[in-house]
Structure 1
């Protein structure tokens, strides 16, 4: 699964580069890692973590442990070259084989498994592995080689009997928690990374499942000489013993950093004898956790003495000397990693393929939405049932046009959960260097087009003819066009707001508010000419619902006449009044609308849709979490 080779020095134009192949990673070390943040009360710098040194060799597993708030996740993110916490200052020196790697090189040779499984629930185990390989390796190795690698990993992680099983969704049961964690790790190993970061890999699992997951990782790490660094919270004794090294933190400082086998002797020498038949992991965590201490001052003094004891220890001195030696002899060249990578042109196609499978299997994504729109169409068609073309129904036709466009747009909020799931997966895959926001946004837009068009057709076939709108094929297809543009704009708005605030309740509230705003200023509630100047010039002219309403109104009334009824008292004066009829253009005139501007309205709609997508892309580009 890995390449072989050696380090070569090649001179480029203006800079030297150490070319490193997959088999060359021997050690990963860090020196004086510190993260500070400004204290809210004192406004002075406050250490989150400080003075952390360490080294992991190929094939070793390091357990990063400590009580809640000790800085485990922050340190893991720093080591993985990921953003730590907003508003912090980070200082560190990270080395691979004694050389400082460039960021892109480091991301290519490492993988990060999140605490939460960012998996597509509607994919099978084999499909999950297949798309992980496609996004990482397409174009760099042959299809047969990818399949061999997939089969090997599935077998290595004991998932052979689940290859055709779905990962699982809230509606459809799938893999167990332990199987999902194994699949998450396996999918990150598809590129044969040499450094694997695991954030709480046993979170939410029982002791048996936790052992199962870590044991599989250990087997792979030993076999392929992978460096593993895992933050872990109070593992069982058997799980704890699977690790080679322990880095114990408390209040952002090191309490112990060395072999697992030496933990008992080290603390015994420091005056803290470990009782028989106790889980060593529980013992050391309880020892350095002062959050629940009865005597806080005494516990704080004890913790401080443990931290100082480590700083004075022979082990700490040896580790500092080793880190300092690496720092002093660090290569000044950039480390370039020769790594298998995916073909950038194939990534959007792979994302579209994956999204297509997800969309037709995931009932929440489009199935429920189609059912909702069908229900709305039946309700609308039967409420405005077979309206006659007389002047008493003109207001009803106008109301129906507003209702059809506005509420079809409003119901796009149902897409929020599906998009947030896609976005979560995008954030994980982007952090691992697989692709950027452009590929994601293009794939997201393209995959939505056919489904939105199907929704538009199904809704229109029912609502348009039942309501007795203009009886012509031309009128029907123009209605379909406007409704399709309406849905494209509404879904683009959902993408923008959900990218800006990726929290379901807030995104739902923001989208509902935005739709309420567009309904209010689209020209139906208050005609454009009499709309308050602020709302008219600030919001009305960028209101996509307003252009949809205009287009539908022109489609319905621009080529239709209405009977004035008995007594020929026409509500809207027109040139046909002497024939006891109303020219539909007279209705348009009351709104300030004219025929002949439809092409311009379509252009405005396309600009708005593109604008929403570009803004959504900008938000995704700027936000990395």
Structure 2
């Protein structure tokens, strides 16, 4: 179902969108324990909320903490699946097509999902290249226009950074960059969660003034949540949706709220603005029941869930891979601590192990060297887990908005790490191979180096795979460490394959230690062939990431 617009595009005017909710209700889902039993009961967050946001107006969702502001905004943005919501969300009078609406709108969440090592200009430029059809010059021009529009010229060449990082831009500037990233494709609808949170009054006023200008001059539909606006910010807001305990106690212009308070017998002090006073006396405001019949609302919501989930991308698959590879490569090169520490670690480990096992000739010692080498190589890549987890948040948001395909991300990520890990593998293999005194043939050394490289790629892909599954770093580190230990146990080094119980034999074939261990032994003493399993984990990584992003898009 396509989204209709309130103005014709044939005349050259951009389409406008009116967002409405009808008797919207939402319950927080239950949490389930290990045996499928619910540990918590569903908690109502929104109750029969009916409101609207017309184009060309700045609409603020206001209320105390925990009132349901962010939940309402997430539903309007399509971040919460329609199947979990009772009621209807209408766009120009029609049920929202979530996939298409996400592509034409922008959703700025409260936490800034930005790459800290990219500059302000690069952050906007890469977003423009991924979201816009056209040449690189067109994207660069759009990024420059946004920098000027957002008032970021003075920090265009500065890195975004994180809070507390030396040389990082300020919180207000970072907030404007987040807004700019979702403005590159010139969305007709913009939704922002607490855009003034943590900012000083001057920065907050600057952002709200900018949003008001966008709504007025470009007839955009702009909806934001805000906790407690001051007098100057309140003057910029056209319409207020006042939320209390999940219910909308008022929706309309600010002067109507003032009139309701006066009619209820309240006298607003001169030093307190209308919203601050209304939040103190919300219990006296009567919640107006929705006028839409419940049956009509349920039917509209059912129709909203039947839509075309197809997304049209701005770039081809190869174009996306090229842009993402370039962005990843810059991030890796600028992560100097990770790059330098990995190279130094490889050299030190290679020299250290080489001197410990120098010129050993007995079979037991050399097999022990192969086993310890694999332990080091497979457990030395977990430092990439925090990077993958941070990128996953950005990946989910960008793919949900139709910026690129998940497959492009996985391929680009693999391409960037191939030369990086090749350098690390070479720096490890060069000293350790000759110091230990393994076979002197050049082809044997090249095969050993190849296996080391494949092991590093496998470990990197393994970490990327589980970063798509685990919720946080602590859980991911525990799972990866436990699985690595299990793989080592069933590799055939501690217990022979014939002695492993039949019900555990599958772990022997899943073990990441088994195949490279056999490859080392074969290379030194002859026999069959061994191999690596890097691309198996890359494929699994793609499957898990695609599933998470698909669920988020739905």
Q: TM-score range with shorter-chain normalisation? A: 0.7 to 0.9
Scaled by the length of structure 2, what TM-score is found? 0.87
- Select 2:54's aligned residue among 48, 53, 57: 57
Do 1:25 and 1:96's aligned partners in 2 also have CA atoms closer than 8 Å?
Answer: no
Is 1:177 aligned to 2:171, yes or no?
Answer: yes
Deviation at 1:220, TM superposition (A): 2.3
Corresponding residue of 1:408: 377
CA shift in 2, pair 1:236/1:469, >3 Å: farther
- Select 1:150's aligned residue among 125, 143, 151: 143
Corresponding residue of 1:342: 314
Corresponding residue of 1:221: 215
Do 1:245 and 1:259's aligned partners in 2 also have CA atoms closer than 8 Å?
Answer: yes
Is 1:441 aligned to 2:441, yes or no?
Answer: no
Do 2:6 and 2:17's aligned partners in 1 also have CA atoms closer than 8 Å?
Answer: no
Corresponding residue of 1:539: 507
Report the 3-state secondary structure (helix = DSSP H, G, I; strand = E; otherwise coil) of the residue aligned with 2:111.
Answer: coil
Do 1:111 and 1:196's aligned partners in 2 also have CA atoms closer than 8 Å?
Answer: yes
State which drifts further: 39-48 or 245-254.
39-48
Deviation at 1:78, TM superposition (A): 1.1
Aligned residues: 534
1:251-286 CA-partner distances (Å, limit 9, x unpaired): 110111111244333223223332221244433334
Corresponding residue of 1:273: 267
CA shift in 2, pair 1:272/1:462, >3 Å: farther
Report the 3-state secondary structure (helix = DSSP H, G, I; strand = E; otherwise coil) of the residue aligned with 1:173.
Answer: coil
Do 1:500 and 1:619's aligned partners in 2 also have CA atoms closer than 8 Å?
Answer: no
- Paired with 1:474 and 1:39, the residues of 2 have a C-alpha distance of 59
Question: Please, which runs of 5 or more residues in structure 1 have no aligned partner?
Answer: 9-18, 289-302, 559-594
Scaled by the length of structure 1, what TM-score is found? 0.78
- Paired with 2:53 and 2:536, the residues of 1 have a C-alpha distance of 52
Deviation at 1:493, TM superposition (A): 1.3
CA shift in 2, pair 1:275/1:163, >3 Å: same
CA shift in 2, pair 1:22/1:434, >3 Å: farther
Corresponding residue of 1:453: 422
Deviation at 1:622, TM superposition (A): 4.9
Corresponding residue of 1:94: 89
Larger Rg: 1
Deviation at 1:45, TM superposition (A): 6.6
CA shift in 2, pair 1:433/1:22, >3 Å: farther
- Paired with 1:21 and 1:451, the residues of 2 have a C-alpha distance of 49
1:466-515 CA-partner distances (Å, limit 9, x unpaired): 32222221221111111111112111111121111130111111111111
- Paired with 1:183 and 1:614, the residues of 2 have a C-alpha distance of 29
CA shift in 2, pair 1:398/1:175, >3 Å: same
- Paired with 2:288 and 2:25, the residues of 1 have a C-alpha distance of 16
- Select 1:160's aligned residue among 153, 160, 179: 153
Correspondence list, 1:248-267, <5 A = 248-267=242-261
Deviation at 1:247, TM superposition (A): 0.6
Is 1:358 aligned to 2:331, yes or no?
Answer: yes
CA shift in 2, pair 1:263/1:551, >3 Å: same
Report the 3-state secondary structure (helix = DSSP H, G, I; strand = E; otherwise coil) of the residue aligned with 1:263.
Answer: helix
Deviation at 1:615, TM superposition (A): 4.2
Deviation at 1:433, TM superposition (A): 2.2
* RMSD of aligned alpha carbons: 3.3
Corresponding residue of 1:111: 106
Do 2:462 and 2:538's aligned partners in 1 also have CA atoms closer than 8 Å?
Answer: no
CA shift in 2, pair 1:489/1:97, >3 Å: same
Do 1:32 and 1:51's aligned partners in 2 also have CA atoms closer than 8 Å?
Answer: yes
- Paired with 1:39 and 1:202, the residues of 2 have a C-alpha distance of 31
- Select 1:67's aligned residue among 64, 67, 83: 64
- Select 1:31's aligned residue among 12, 22, 31: 22
Question: Please, which runs of 5 or more residues in structure 2 have no aligned partner?
Answer: 32-37
Do 1:437 and 1:620's aligned partners in 2 also have CA atoms closer than 8 Å?
Answer: no
- Paired with 1:369 and 1:241, the residues of 2 have a C-alpha distance of 54
Corresponding residue of 2:541: 613
- Select 1:556's aligned residue among 524, 528, 545: 524
